[in-house]
A and B are shown apart, each in its own frame.
Chain A
Amino acid sequence: MFRLPILFIVTGIVSFALYHILSLLVLGTWMLEPMRSPDGWFRVHLLVLDWATMIAMGAVYQLMDVVLQRRIHSVMLGYVQYGTFTLGTMLLLAGFLVSNAALLGIGAALSLLGILLFVYNVGLTMWKAQQWNAVTVSTACALLYLTATAIIGLIMGLNYAFPLWPDMHDRLLAAHIWMGMLGWFGFLITGFSYKMLPMFYLAHGHSARLQTIVIVLLNAGVVVGAEAFLLGGGGGAQAAASAIVLLAFIAYIGVVEEIRKHKHKGSPGRGIWWTVQSTRAFVAFAAALLAAWLIAPEWFRNQPTTLLLGMAYLWGWVSMTILGYLSKIVPFLWWTHKYGPRAGQPNVPVMSAMIPERVVGYGLAAISTGVALTLFGLFAKETTAVAAGGTLLSLASLLYIGLVASVFTR
């Protein structure tokens, strides 16, 4: 299957480029402005929906073939879903941009429909296959939280247009972000990694026990957190949920190390190397932040802690992981499409010829430096550091995604 996944991935790449071009216009300093503004919502949803979720959906359509060894339930429905979701998110973004409630409402409803079609198509495929393992269970959890996130998003939109529960808005927002970030992205990335990392490391004989622990802990953390936010639980409940999620990620690092211990390939590729490093870095950062909060909670009173943690997670882990995996997924899709029919003939290039590994490494190094500098700037409230970090992040990202896109010319 080539066309359906590539449609999502190309759209994601274009959205990623647009996000960074717009960020460059203000040198990344938009991050210093209040996030809860039409501009902030526009940028965040462009990144989260039209970049990260779009790429994730394409990857799911591609990987379901591999994991279940069966085709997706309906390829045609996949195309319909793509159209619905893309149109919906475009209207949603336009609604944010011009602060138009009608556009927001229609866009949110169409986006939700697109998500429901996706969940139905993938969910039915998994149900028919009846193969339940850490990968498929994680994917099922991801689909559940994606649905919940989208429904809450729609409720928030309705609440904004017709203030039915004004007191609930902040709680809904917190639960929406929590389930989307950790439930949807957390489960999808960890789940797919259980399949993809052993492939790229050529790992065999590794134990899958810790994968179950990750699933249990991450579910517990997402549920406890969502409940705490929706029912108005205080900082203690939220900290407990954060601690459970942190334990889940520590267990996930254990999964990665177990895979690496059983590898039979010296290097998995620079992109994959960086996904592993970004996981370690995020967990170290989150652990340090949580420890500091436990020791001196008063110090966090005037700090943008949520923004810092959110940025570290979204940029330092989710985006870095997606970008790392893209350095494998895009060459694989293109090579299979263009050179697969020539396999077995002389002079057929190998996949590594589609993208220069060293440049992948440099690109991700520059992006991670930009992320680190931006986080420092936000923490220290240093506009210069945020501008420098934001500029580096966006420039490096544009060059990197250009490199990935150039695979289609090979």
Chain B
Amino acid sequence: MVSEQQVRDTLRIVYDPELGVNIVDLGLIYEVAIDENSGAVRIAMTLTTPGCPLHDTIVGGVRRALRDKTDPEKLEVDVVWEPRWTPERMSAEARAQLHF
């Protein structure tokens, strides 16, 4: 059974290709919920801007990254727009990478 931390660590391989920062450090992953009985994994995430042109690419990346860790049939990835993403959600590493 994969843990929440393992999911988050695995998702560090998924990048916003324009910013060059992974989606965990960007603060895009809002929630990782694991059902211990069924093994289902639900990820609530967002994107830096509504209508982000990389929507399908990033969501596809999340699914691909977790392919070996979860049952794809039991993986749910929800893109939510509330609360809105703000730059304050970025980690210190992300800010350093963006030179800000």
Contacts and interface: CB of A to CB of B under 8 A. Distances in A.
A261 interface: no
Contacts of A336: 53-54, 57
Given A69-B50, A265-B98, A343 B57 contact: yes
Interface in A56-98: 62, 65-69
A339 B17 contact: yes
A350 B86 CA distance: 22
B18 interface: yes
Interface in A332-367: 332, 335-336, 339-346, 348, 350-352
Contacts of A267: 99
A126 to B, nearest CB: 14
B60 A266 contact: no
Contacts of B62: 344
Top 5 A-B pairs, shortest CB-CB distance: A266-B99, A343-B61, A344-B64, A344-B61, A344-B65
Contacts of A350: 15, 17-18, 20
Interface of B: 13-15, 17-20, 48-54, 56-58, 60-67, 86-87, 90, 95, 98-100
Contacts of A67: 51
A202 B86 CA distance: 10
A343 B15 contact: yes
Nearest to A349: B17
A66 B53 contact: yes
Interface string A174-218: 000000000000000000000000111010110000000000000
A263 interface: yes
Contacts of A69: 50-51
A346 B22 CA distance: 12
Interface in A265-288: 265-267
Nearest to A336: B57
A263 to B, nearest CB: 7
Contacts, number: 82
Interface residues of A, number: 32
A264 interface: yes
Contact of A348 (B15, B18, B87, B95): B15
Nearest to B10: A344
A258 to B, nearest CB: 16
Contact of B100 (A65, A200, A263, A351): A263
Contacts of A263: 100
26 contacts: A66-B51, A68-B51, A69-B51, A202-B48, A202-B87, A202-B100, A204-B87, A205-B86, A264-B90, A265-B99, A266-B100, A336-B57, A339-B17, A340-B56, A341-B60, A342-B64, A343-B15, A343-B17, A344-B14, A344-B62, A344-B63, A344-B64, A344-B66, A350-B20, A351-B20, A352-B20
A9 to B, nearest CB: 15
Contacts of A343: 14-15, 17, 57-58, 60-61, 64
A318 B63 CA distance: 41
Nearest to A266: B99
Contacts of B20: 350-352
A183 B87 CA distance: 35
Instruction: Please indicate which of the listed interface residues B49, B56, B63 has the most CB atoms of chain A within 10 Å of its own CB.
Output: B49
A332 B53 contact: yes
A62 B54 CA distance: 12
B53 A264 contact: no
A198 B60 contact: no
B19 A202 contact: yes
